[in-house]
Amino acid sequence: MTSGVLAATAVSVLARVHPATAVAVAALFSGLLAVVTGLVVLVTSWRRGDAMRLSARFLAMAMVTWGVGQLVIGGEASLGDPVFPTLGDVLGTVSAPLGVTGLLLALRPRSVRTHWARMTLDSLLLGCATLLMLWRVAYRPALLSGGLSAGDALALLIALIETSILALLVLGWLREFDRGLLLTMLGFAVYAAADGYTLRSVAQGHLWPWAAAALWCIAWPAIGEGVLRLQPARHADDGRASEARVALTTTVVTFIVLVVAVAAFAGDPVTDSVTIAVAVAMIAVFSAREAWTGVQRGRLMRSLTRQAMQDPLTGLGNRRALGWRLEELADTPEGAVLTLDLDGFKEVNDVLGHSRGDDLLVAVADCVHAALEPDCRAFRVGGDEFVVVVPGGGGRDRALAHTLLEAVRAAALALPGAAAVRVSTSIGVARWSGGATAAAVVESGVALHAAKQSGRDRVERYDGPVAAQHRRSLDVERRLRVAVRTGDVDVHYQPVLRLESEASEASEASEAVVGFEALARWVDPLLGRVTPDEFIPAAERCGLIAELGTHVLRRSLADLAALDASVAGARVAVNVSPVQLRSPTFAADVADLLAEAGVPATRLVIEVTESAFVGEDAGELGQLQQLRALGVWVAIDDFGSGYSALAYLSRLPASTLKLDQGLTANLTTDPRALAVMRSIIDLGRALPLDVVVEGIETTEVRDVVRELGARYAQGWLYAAAVPLDQVAGVVADLERRRLPVIRG
């Protein structure tokens, strides 16, 4: 920059002293500065390791070429006034493609190359519009007075190139906001202004202006310094905002320039060949721009459609694509759907890492795709779940299912580190007829679930028992919704007995009913008796478990007055699901139900399974603590059936341990079972916690647990769960020592 200012100053001083020499000296100075600047940029480019290396080289060659041309012009000027166009002008024109290529390389985003062509067309459009304005305002009056020569045409071409390059720099800066690009743009603006001034002066018959050459001396060092500061283009300038700026600027500037041109035309409506040619060029560039935009819009739409319909990891169709395929096959008379799920995939991720898991998914997708016939399609619809659609009949689905079973095994064995894990696949198959394709997807999922429950690494078809069980599950869920809404789920009560008296006298006379466990029972008018093992999971699946639990709790508290008539002061124990316990208002809801029934909190026992606390949810623990603060008792139900972590016993505000009946199954025959029972009962006494042993079905088991120190027992030896109207009779029979009372 400093050298350019000094050179321009020297030219200005020389012009005052010897004007005839100033033009030649200015041309030589500007040419020499351009050559030196270009060589500096070229040498520096070899040390650049980024994406700007190639761009800098093209720009350096453009500077050197233009500089050589200026040196030629300076030599001709020293011999006399040069006549445009000179050999130097031709060299300057040749430098333009090199400069444009360098700029486009500098402005090209690495991730979206389509912006390259779009910016070129935008620059040409702005260049044509600017040239039209300059022609009507500045050049036309001078050039048309003596006729339009070949030199004049070259001058207009140079003007078009320069205005287009300047437009390209402006648009590039609007997209990147790069300081180096800004300096390059300002330097080139000075150069273009000087060149335009020269062209107009020559067209009007004046001598070459020394002032323009002085401006050239300033322009090229500025351009060179800007090129040295250029930074690589960002990834499409991080989004759509920059492209919006470019598009808006192109539209607004083109409109403004055309308004000026039209205003000039209105003052002088005579048309000429240049006006027509530039207007035609603008129309052609605009048409090309719109055509390119249409092509890119089409590519974008295809890309978006592909992304929306394709799994990015495996290249298979996704769930949306599956839906489209099923709609296409809605008129197909029959076909089959195969749903595959990898067994042991979580272990692959945990042991070998997620990258190996991705490799396995890709390998499975490849082997599935390779096994398909042309009219079959495969889709990845979940993490490790795939769906294959097989149109038509002929039993192709049977053979394909077993082929896929073997193919997935082979793909899993080929996975690096496969020896550390065991991977297989389970496949569910369902056929459709009459266009019921969507139902077949659901049914194949049911068959897949059955395959996993049956041992995995197998094919299960949706027919026979699987279909019957599925229909039964759907019927249970549908009828259960009605039963819960109408309150038709009944509550039965199973007595809990104390095995020892306050004096710890181990005798049958010490047994007494002290409470009841409330158990949900359901007899449906259509389905008949539905066991809790069936309707409780159904309630969990369809989101009714909280509503069902509230119904049982409200009903139990309402029945407590009738239970009092049989056993004064009896407690009622109600099972609570983890879903209920996770509600932040559960404790408050229980308090409201106690108040509604007029029952003291100390008469209620809330039973929770130990599995509800595996996640160590602070909210669940807080609800139990609030219940204990109210006076409600808390029992850990089915202790010994799950995790049985002793840490829970120290954290939970529990008062009772209810031992799972699985611990009593072999109590009288297995010494190890006896030792486990003794340890748990001793642990309960030490904490201290009341211990209730469930599953007491024989007097021998009762005697053993009583000798071990258990205080409470529950089981069919005493009574099964009975309706409220039978509780009084059960209690009376127990008091008369008639065991067993009811066997269920």
CATH number, domain containing residue 424: 3.30.70.270
Residue (of 54, 165, 38, 58) closest to 110 by Cα position: 54
Mean pLDDT of the chain: 81
* pLDDT computed for residue 718 by the predictor: 92
DSSP summary character for residue 208: P
Do the domain assignments include residue 77? yes
* Model confidence band, residue 632 (pLDDT cutoffs 50, 70, 90): very high
Span 117-124, average pLDDT? 77
Query: Residue 178: pLDDT above 90?
Result: no
Alpha helices in 268-309, H assignment, sequence order:
273-309
Candidates 488, 533, 495, 537; CA nearest to 514 is 495
Whether the Cβ atoms of residue 87 and residue 156 lie closer than 8 Å to each other: no
The domain of 135 spans: 2-297
pLDDT digits (tens, 9 = 90+) for 590-622: 999 999 999 999 999 999 986 666 455 567 888
Are residues 287 and 346 located together in one domain of the fold?
no
Q: What is the pLDDT of residues 204-214, one digit of tens each?
A: 666 667 677 77
The confidence score (pLDDT) of residue 132 equals 76
The model's confidence at residue 642, banded by pLDDT at 50, 70 and 90, is low
Tell me what pLDDT residue 744 has.
Answer: 44
> Distance between alpha carbon 719 and the CA centroid of its chain, in Å?
55
- Give domain status of residue 314, yes or no: no
Interatomic CA distance for residues 157 and 411, integer angstroms: 64
Q: Is residue 641 very low, low, confident or very high in pLDDT (cuts 50, 70, 90)?
A: low
For residues 360 and 405, state if they share a domain: yes
User: Looking at residues 397-419, what average pLDDT do you find?
Assistant: 87
Instruction: Establish if 424 belongs to a structural domain.
Output: yes
Specify the pLDDT at position 405.
92
Q: Band the pLDDT of 456: cuts 50, 70, 90.
A: confident
Higher pLDDT, 253 or 715: 715
Same domain, 406 and 331: yes
271 & 219 share domain: yes
Residue 479 is assigned to a structural domain of this protein: no
The reply to whether 370 falls in a domain is: yes
Residues 515 and 646 in one domain: yes
Q: What is the pLDDT of residue 525?
A: 93
* Cα distances (angstroms) measured from residue 164 to each of 97, 121, 125, 563: 11, 9, 8, 96
Same-domain check for residues 271 and 326:
no
Domain boundary (297, 330, 359) is at 297
The CB density around residue 435, as the number of other CB atoms within 10 Å, is 17
What's the pLDDT tens digit per position in 350-363?
888 989 999 999 99
Q: Which of 297, 328, 346 is the last residue of a domain?
A: 297
Quote the pLDDT of residue 96.
76
Q: Provide the Cα torsion 542, 543, 546, 552; round to 10°.
A: -20
Between CA 419 and CA 160 the distance in angstroms is: 70
**Same domain flag for 574 and 722:** yes
| CATH number (domain holding residue 513) | 3.20.20.450
- As a whole number, mean pLDDT of residues 230-242 equals 55
**Domain for residue 744, yes or no?**
no
| Count of domains forming the chain | 3
Q: Are residues 50 and 121 in the same domain?
A: yes
Q: Are residues 209 and 326 in the same domain?
A: no
CA dihedral (172, 176, 178, 182) positive or negative: positive
- Inside any domain, residue 611: yes
Rounded to an integer, the average pLDDT of 367-377 is: 92
Task: Identify the band that residue 482 occupies on the pLDDT scale cut at 50, 70 and 90.
Answer: very high
Residue 580 has pLDDT above 80, yes or no: yes
How large is the average pLDDT for residues 106-125?
A: 66
* Arithmetic mean of pLDDT, 495-507: 65
| Beta strands 690-694 and 656-659, pairing class | parallel
Interval 33-69: pLDDT, tens = 878 888 888 888 777 766 677 778 888 888 888 788 8
Stretch (H or E) spanning 33: helix 19-45
Residues 391 and 499 in one domain: no
Residue 740 lies in a domain: no
Same domain, 647 and 682: yes
In Å, how far are 185, 649, 657, 673, 711 from 684, measured between CA atoms? 85, 9, 7, 17, 10
Percent of residues, the chain, with pLDDT higher than 90: 34
Range list of β-strands (E), 173-272? none
Q: Are residues 283 and 359 in the same domain?
A: no
